[in-house]
Amino acid sequence: MSLKDQLLKLKKCRRAIHSGHKGRVRFGDTEDMDDEMILDLVPIQTPYTGARSLSFDRQRQTEEKEERFNRKFSKFLKELVRHGNTNDIEYLFDYLVRRYQCDTFNSKEMIFFLLPFTKYYEHVLHLSRISDFNYFSVQPTYSYQFIGNLCLREKYFFDFFVEYFEHFKYIREFCLNVLGYVISGMKNADKDFSMQFFEIISHLVRLEENDTAVKVFFDIRDHVEEVIDEFVELLEPHFSKEYLISRRPKNVEHKISIPREEAVLFRNMYDSEDDRRILGDSSRYKNYVIWLHREGLALKSFSEPEFEALKVLCGIEDKRIDGDISIYANLFKELRDRRGLIELLNYSFREDILALTPYMGDDDKAYLSQLSPRLWESVITENNYAMVLTNMPRRAIKEDLRKIMKVCLGYVKYEGSVFTEYLDENVLFALMEECLEDIPAKNIIDTARFMGIDLTSIIVEKGFYTNPIYLNHLSEEPRSLKVEMSRKIFEDIMKLPSKACIDALCRYVRQIDDRKLINDVLGCLIEKGFSNPSFYSALASHIEVLSEENCERILDLRGFSKENHCIVDRLYRYRESVAAECLAEKHYDALLFLCKGYGFSKVLGNRSDENMIDFIEVLSKQNLPLEEAEEFIRYSFSLIKFGGERIVKALFQDRYVPHLIKCSMLREWKTIKAMAIELIVEHNQHRQFCFDYFLDNYHDFKNDFDLLDVIARDGITIDYGKLLEVLKGSESYFKSSFSDILLRNLSFDSLRFVPVIVPSMIEHKKESVRILFKEHGNIMSPYVKDILLKFPEIEECMFEIDSRHLLIGSIKAYTDAPNDHHLDFMCRALDLSDTSLSLPILKRVAGFLDANVSRVKDKLFTKFFGTYLKACPEADESIRSLLKTLYESNRDVFFEVSKVSLPLCYKIFRPYADFMIGMVKEKDRNAITFITEYLHWDLEYCIPHRKLFEMLFGFYCNEPDILYAKCISSILRHNPKEIEDANDLILSKMKGDKAVMILELLQVLYQKVHHFKKCLVKSSPYFALVVDSTRKDISSAARKLLNIIERKHNKGGYQLLQL
């Protein structure tokens, strides 16, 4: 696969950014290629196709830079003429057009390098049309003769052509063919072209094309006699002066040197008897004829007359040819370069040359018309008339101008610009009288328009307006004709009213301003039964002046069809009763047309009859535009009291939902809303529109949340910016209800709306606020207080957030409205299993409790102290202060707090221990309980153990209470040194009725005081006495004691009694 094919395959899918430039000239199939791809396919390297060219932007250059750039770039473009036949060179052309926009900035240079190549002539025509270098638009086909004639007619173009000879080696055939037509046409030109030919010969000499240069010189020598010395001086280094100043030898072509390789080729062609194909090669056939003549070979493919003619063409001989012209027909058909043969045949067979016209192309016919202008009628055609007239001598054209014009005016492909230099107003007016057919008349009008001639006066004067072509011409623009003249035109047309004439008259009517004449013309056409499109166009242009009588006549004759709706409209402005007629006669389309123009309410009024309901039913089935449908809905519901069931049934269509929702301000809104809700439930496609409309017009829906509840469902896309605007601008109740529905029905990003909607939702007790607490957690902490104060029924939902927020919120709530419920909530917040509170929060709660000691419940204090001391075992001053306050103001709470707090931080209770010991003496049970627990934790506390023990033992002996027993155990555990003495005192009391009491005390001591086991040896005899006591209560207590000892100290009862 070639590189080109590979690149095409790889990049075909990439769309070129320039594909949208419809007016841009394009050479290849590059529409779907980008610039980089085309650059890869360019077949030659140039200074303007490097990688940097991809970023070049010509339009952004300064004027100075553009001037310097264009100077070099123009020269480069002209040199591209050398590559016109290079394979794939079209990619380079396309790239230059895209990157450098040379079709816009350098159209002349592009024409220069494209013109020598027939395949690019369509591009030349395109460039010619869009540029000032516009020479080719009148010549649709490629023609060397046309180019040669341009040189003769326009010196500027001849100068342009001369530049081609700088590149003669690359476009030899083009240069010689055009130059041949230039030289042959010089005899009919009256201009001096010596300077141009001098440049041409100079280029040829510089390129060492000396044979061609001298041939050109001899061809033009008769036309440059005045400056022939300069030409001779130019050629003298290559040819003798005598040779140059002599007359051109007849056999100059015969002296041409034929290269050996070409001679071998000619020999092979001759031997194969296939030498006639050389006639198609205009650059070689002369050499072959010369070679054949030199070799003196017998003719094989050519007849003798044909070869004689060829020898004359090649300059071998100079004579007339004879015989019948038909014997030269095959030669004429096969010879590519026919110009010389046409000249020879015309010279030899002046009367019979036309026999060959079937084989002539347009170039050939045009050249023949130059040689024999009298034959123009036989060679001119619709396709070549411009070429023929360009070649014909001006004198001949002027002599036969009217005759030529009659022929050419009949052509469909007519170009008036070809004749403007020969025509004047008088000739054109004369042609109007002679050429009355449609095509000539149209072409005369085009020619007059091109020449700037106004035909109005001659058309009116001669009555040409009866020709629809001319009447249409009068209709093209205002002609300022008098009313009388316009009436005459109307009357003359109506004498023989053909369809074309009536169409033209209808167009002409649009130029008339007189109201009476307009109505007369239109009235006449109505009576005649004309109803073509042009008639309605005339009606439309004068609808404002159409009389009431004509309106009624049109409707009577042609009915209330769509074409006549504008008539109905005009008649309605004369009398509004026409609306009632349309309704009664069921002309519903016409009635709808009126309603669209003036509104349903104005046209239909307050009618409440069956015809009106019928109209609504029919209209409800039509697809009305948006605004009309809305007005129709509004008007229909205004009649609901009269035709309620039928109207509701007619409008109960899902396509009307967008219109129904816009009727919220109507008195019948309740009925409309019920319809809308039912339709929305059944049909989902309008939910989005209704939701958006609800948002945009929320002020109109303050009490229509049942409608919103149906509209707002998953699948709706929310404009959050608009929603925020609505919520900020709406009242509290609307805001809360709206938000409640959205939260319940939709999944949407509610975070940004929390500050806007939560206060109102709490105020109006919307249960859906729970959703916000669940979704956003701690973000909802600012609303704990509001929930507790205004909506405590949903307080459980707040336990989704951290307890620190709950505590702060409950404190704020209690501060605003003291309520035990808030304290209970605070207690629940403290009771959370995952409580982890910071010291500042705890201090704040401590401060609150300190300030409200008298009102706060015991449970909250105990819960708080437990939470606080777990979080901060090193109690700070705030907790100590609170404890002091409790001690001073609520001793019961203090003792409850101590039960919870001593295991966590006994040190804060040390200041109160001494007081408590004093209260023990008074048998204060709370103090005894406190001391019991305190001594368990504070092992360093110094107390009078013996004294305290004896006091409590005395209390116990007088009143055996387990509380005293536990306190005694705590004292002995705190100071083990007193155990043995205490044991002796206890055992001494284990007598009589007190035995059971003492045994129960010992049960406590052995169970709670580990070091009490050292008294076992001393106590065992006492235990042995009581264990088998006849008193059941004593023995039972003793055995229980032994069990405790066995369990706590691993001493069995038998072992114990043996000690």
738-746 mean pLDDT: 85
Contact between 783 and 756 (Cβ < 8 Å): no
786: tokens are 């509001």
Percent of the chain with pLDDT over 90: 10
Q: How far apart are CA 312 and CA 320, in angstroms?
A: 8
pLDDT at 763 exceeding the cut of 90: no
pLDDT: which is higher, 162 or 647:
162
142: left (phi over 0), alpha (psi -120 to 50) or beta: beta
Contact between 640 and 653 (Cβ < 8 Å): no
942: tokens are 């110094």
pLDDT digits (tens, 9 = 90+) for 436-484: 888 898 988 888 888 888 888 888 888 888 888 888 888 877 777 888 8
pLDDT digits (tens, 9 = 90+) for 80-137: 999 999 999 999 999 999 999 998 899 999 999 999 999 999 999 999 988 888 888 8
CA 873 to mean position of chain CA atoms: 67
Query: What CA dihedral angle connects 378, 384, 385 and 386, to 10 degrees?
Result: -150
pLDDT of residue 1057: 54
Q: How far apart are CA 274 and CA 19, in angstroms?
A: 49
pLDDT: which is higher, 558 or 1008:
1008
Q: How far apart are CA 487 and CA 483, in angstroms?
A: 6
Q: How far apart are CA 26 and CA 20, in angstroms?
A: 12
753-760 mean pLDDT: 88
pLDDT digits (tens, 9 = 90+) for 957-994: 888 888 888 888 888 888 888 888 888 888 888 888 88
Highest-pLDDT range among 75-79, 360-364, 601-605, 1038-1042: 75-79
230-244 mean pLDDT: 81
pLDDT digits (tens, 9 = 90+) for 320-355: 788 889 898 888 888 888 888 888 888 788 778 888
Single-letter amino acid, residue 997 = M
Q: How confident is the model at residue 202 (pLDDT cuts 50, 70, 90)?
A: very high
For tokens 């004759």, name the residue.
Answer: 557
pLDDT of residue 940: 77
Contacts of residue 471, Cβ cutoff 8 Å, sequence gap at least 6: 465, 489, 493, 501, 504, 505, 507, 508
| SS3 per residue for 424-483 | CHHHHHHHHHHCCCHHHHHHHHHHHHHHCCCCHHHHHHHCHHHCHHHHHHHHCCCCCCCH
12-16 mean pLDDT: 38
803-827 mean pLDDT: 85
Strands (E), 237-284: none
pLDDT at 804 exceeding the cut of 90: no
Q: How far apart are CA 606 and CA 602, in angstroms?
A: 9
Task: Provide the greatest CA pair distance for the chain.
Answer: 184
Nearest one of 500, 499, 496, 521 to 509, comparing CA atoms: 521
Buried residues in 748-759 as b, exposed as e (16+ CB within 10 A): bebeebbebbbb
Q: How confident is the model at residue 256 (pLDDT cuts 50, 70, 90)?
A: low
pLDDT of residue 642: 65
DSSP state of 1030: S
pLDDT of residue 637: 78
pLDDT at 424 exceeding the cut of 70: yes
407-418 mean pLDDT: 87
pLDDT of residue 162: 95
List, as one string, the DSSP characters of 348-379.
H-TTTGGGGGGG--HHHHHHHHHH-GGGHHHH
325: tokens are 């012209």
pLDDT digits (tens, 9 = 90+) for 205-232: 999 998 889 889 988 888 888 888 899 8
pLDDT of residue 255: 52
Contact between 165 and 175 (Cβ < 8 Å): yes
Nearest one of 583, 487, 502, 586 to 537, comparing CA atoms: 502
What mean pLDDT, rounded, does the chain reach? 83
Helices of type H across 296-424: 304-313, 329-334, 339-348, 362-371, 376-379, 385-391, 394-399, 401-409
Buried residues in 623-653 as b, exposed as e (16+ CB within 10 A): ebeeebbbbbbbbbbbbbeebeebbbebbee
pTM beyond 0.75: the answer is: no
Contacts of residue 816, Cβ cutoff 8 Å, sequence gap at least 6: 785, 789
Query: What CA dihedral angle connects 182, 188, 194 and 196, to 10 degrees?
Result: -30
pLDDT at 746 exceeding the cut of 60: yes
pLDDT at 3 exceeding the cut of 70: no
Q: How confident is the model at residue 1047 (pLDDT cuts 50, 70, 90)?
A: confident
Contact between 103 and 130 (Cβ < 8 Å): yes
Q: How confident is the model at residue 5 (pLDDT cuts 50, 70, 90)?
A: low
480-503 mean pLDDT: 81
Contact between 1001 and 968 (Cβ < 8 Å): yes
Q: How far apart are CA 125 and CA 120, in angstroms?
A: 9
pLDDT of residue 22: 42
Q: How confident is the model at residue 244 (pLDDT cuts 50, 70, 90)?
A: confident
Q: How confident is the model at residue 19 (pLDDT cuts 50, 70, 90)?
A: very low
151-162 mean pLDDT: 92
